Amino acid sequence: MLKVEDLSKSWKDFSLKRINFEIQKGEYFVILGPSGAGKTLLLEAIAGIFIPDSGRILLNGEDITEKPPEKREIAYIPQNYGLFDHMKVFDNIAYGLKVRKFAREEIRKQVEEIAKALDIKHLLDRKVKNLSAGERQRVAIARAIVISPQVILLDEPFSNLDVNLKNKLLREMKRWRRELNFTAIHVTHSFDEALSLGDKLGIMMNGKMDQVGEVKEVFSKPKTEDIARFLGYENILEGHAEGKILYSENIKIELPQEFYGRVRVMIPPQNILISKNMIFSSARNNFKAIVEEFEDLGALIKLKLRVNGIKLAAHLTKASFVDMGIKEDEEVYVSFKSTAIHVF
Amino acid sequence: MKDNFSVFLASLGAFLVAFLIIPIAVTVSTQLFDLNALIKALNDEVVLNSLFNSIFTSTVATLISLVFGVPLGYVLARKNFKGKNFIQAVVDIPVTIPHSVVGIMLLFAYSEAILDNYLGIIAAMLFVSASFTVNSARDGFMSVNEKIEYVARTLGASKVRVFFTISLPLALHSIFTGAIMSWARAISEVGAILIVAYYPKTAQVLVMDYFNNYGLSASRPIAVILILISLVIFVTLRRVAVVKGGGSI
């Protein structure tokens, strides 16, 4: 439906470098990346706020790269929501319909319908100046959805909200998506937004879209070490591979397939099993480890372990942690399947 | 605790306020003891015509500055182009030129077309007052987040529609404030008008005329009427601007 091909743009000291991705109708595409990755610049290019230096943007097969914003049918919600402060909520939502010369009654009907769906019908006569951040966000979404655009672009829509409100609106956004079935590109630096809303995920760093895929796939198989580190993964090891064996420091690790030469691998902390006794299994890598310290992550405990010269992190449920009575400097056994290892 | 420093600053400020208000208060209050002269002036056709000329020409000059100055303010706020600094300097220059010189320059440039007619008065007023409208419009448009304009465009609005429904209403308070200042500057102009268009006589020129021919007391009633009219219009417009803009100016 929307295809971005080799899009590049230089802006002051920053540049977007050959961005490629495609989304389908009804898909919710989340672009995740640290601040300064170029996410907003990419959205602005798709919205038509500026023309890229090279590359193309195709919407339903039509090249819209140089079309002005008003002819694209792509609605844009900037980070501060971009509400028209001199208008009431009703007039904000009705703006796009008035532009399209809908009849007065039809405008009222559509505005009231969308306002009802987003629980803001009681605000229609209020000035937007007097709204809370959460209310402003709903008005901005209503204003975008009511014109039935092909795609809605959302720039960090939850960044101005406190945690409780954000969680509430995240749940509601999932509901609105189901009920209103819109296509969206949502940029954020927050993992929970990506995990709870995204059908598809793109990782953007330093002006490049480094990986695009299903959310689960990107989180479980980050394509590069940089992405893995950005996603918060630990246990990234470097070593020399000879066939299915990786030699790293003083340990031998069995790999899922054959590799040769220097390789980097990542062992997801949630895939490491901890036990008081050695688990014998041919499919597993087993090591004796020392518990250096542990960290409370809420429902999970993160154990920081030393295996010979290597440091590993492992996640354990709080219940298991208490049952096992693990203490610092204690000896435990760690094991992980070779298939759990991700080779970059 | 007593804030001595603030008291000190307020005292210095009070001196200036007193300096500004004393001439107005003395002139108006002195005239109130001579109401007959004030009433006589109000019935004098020459005085009434001159007042009409002043208000009419300053209002027209302000409207012209709005028609041409608001678009210029928008361009200065939104666009970067070669020569932008030069244009900005041209807008600001009239403030720095003595007004008698302005009159001479206008005569050199437009000669007979503006000599002793309404056009001449309006030209002189526009020259010395337009920068207030242009600069206020520019500041007003600069204060409107450009992203909001783009959001309106992604909702389907053309550039023209965005200008009239988003940018202009959001900058209106600032533009209105500038227009009031322009009008005030226009109605207070004498130097350039004296040279360009002594006739048709404006109230400010008539005050000078009476002062030169008949002395201080004779010029006072017209001066007081001019002060009162200016104050009433100025204060009223400012109040309207505050209410519309929801703030102070």
What ranges do the domains of chain B cover? 34-245
Whole-number pLDDT of residue A276: 86
Chain A nearest-CA distance from B147, in A, is: 7
Cβ contact, residue pair B147, A78, below 8 Å: yes
Whether A240 is covered by a domain: the verdict is no
- Domain CATH number, residue A69: 3.40.50.300
Q: Looking at the structure, do residues A203 and A318 belong to the same domain, yes or no?
A: no
| Residue A144 contacts B, CB cutoff 8 Å | yes
* Average per-residue pLDDT for chain A: 90
Q: Which helix (H) or strand (E) holds A218?
A: helix A215-220
Tally the domains of chain A. Answer: 2
Cβ contact, residue pair A84, B153, below 8 Å: no
Whole-number pLDDT of residue A233: 82
Whether A231 is covered by a domain: the verdict is no
Q: Which of A192, A225, A258 is the last residue of a domain?
A: A225
Whole-number pLDDT of residue B244: 62
Exposure letters B197-228 (e unless 16+ CB within 10 A, then b): bbebbbbbbbbbbbbeeeeeebbbbbbbbbee
Q: Which of B145, B158, B170 sits opposite A70 (nearest CB)?
A: B158
Q: Just give the CATH number of B34-245.
A: 1.10.3720.10
ipTM: 0.79
Whole-number pLDDT of residue A282: 64
| Residue A152 contacts B, CB cutoff 8 Å | no
Number of A/B CB contacts below 8 angstroms equals 60
Is 60 exceeded by the pLDDT of residue B121?
A: yes
Residues of B in contact with A99 (CB under 8 A): 155-157, 161
Is 70 exceeded by the pLDDT of residue A104?
A: yes
Cβ contact, residue pair A84, B157, below 8 Å: no
* pLDDT tens-digit readout, B45-69: 999 999 999 999 999 999 999 999 9
Mean pLDDT, residues A43-67 taken together? 94
| Residue B244 contacts A, CB cutoff 8 Å | no
Q: Looking at the structure, do residues A87 and A201 belong to the same domain, yes or no?
A: yes
Whether A191 is covered by a domain: the verdict is yes
Whether A234 is covered by a domain: the verdict is no
Mean pLDDT, residues A71-95 taken together? 95
Is 60 exceeded by the pLDDT of residue A284?
A: yes
Whether A232 is covered by a domain: the verdict is no
Is 90 exceeded by the pLDDT of residue A280?
A: no
Going by pLDDT thresholds of 50, 70 and 90, the confidence category of residue B143 is very high
Cβ contact, residue pair B155, A78, below 8 Å: no
Q: Which of A225, A255, A289 is the last residue of a domain?
A: A225
| Residue A75 contacts B, CB cutoff 8 Å | yes
Sorted by sequence, the CB contacts under 8 Å of residue A310 that are 6+ apart come out as A237, A248, A249, A250, A251
- Domain CATH number, residue A296: 2.40.50.100
Residue B51 and residue B68: Cα distance in Å, rounded?
A: 26
Exposure letters B137-146 (e unless 16+ CB within 10 A, then b): bbbbbbebee
| Residue A322 contacts B, CB cutoff 8 Å | no
Q: Looking at the structure, do residues A189 and A288 belong to the same domain, yes or no?
A: no
Q: Looking at the structure, do residues A200 and A293 belong to the same domain, yes or no?
A: no
Residues of B in contact with A144 (CB under 8 A): 155
Q: A211-216 — which CB contacts under 8 Å span 24+ positions?
A: A212/A20, A212/A21, A215/A30
Instruction: Name the β-bridge partners of A290.
Output: A306, A331
* pLDDT tens-digit readout, B63-116: 999 999 999 999 999 999 999 999 999 999 988 899 999 999 999 999 888 888
Query: Domain residues for A65?
Result: 2-225
* pLDDT tens-digit readout, B209-238: 999 999 988 899 999 998 998 889 888 887
| Residue A213 contacts B, CB cutoff 8 Å | no
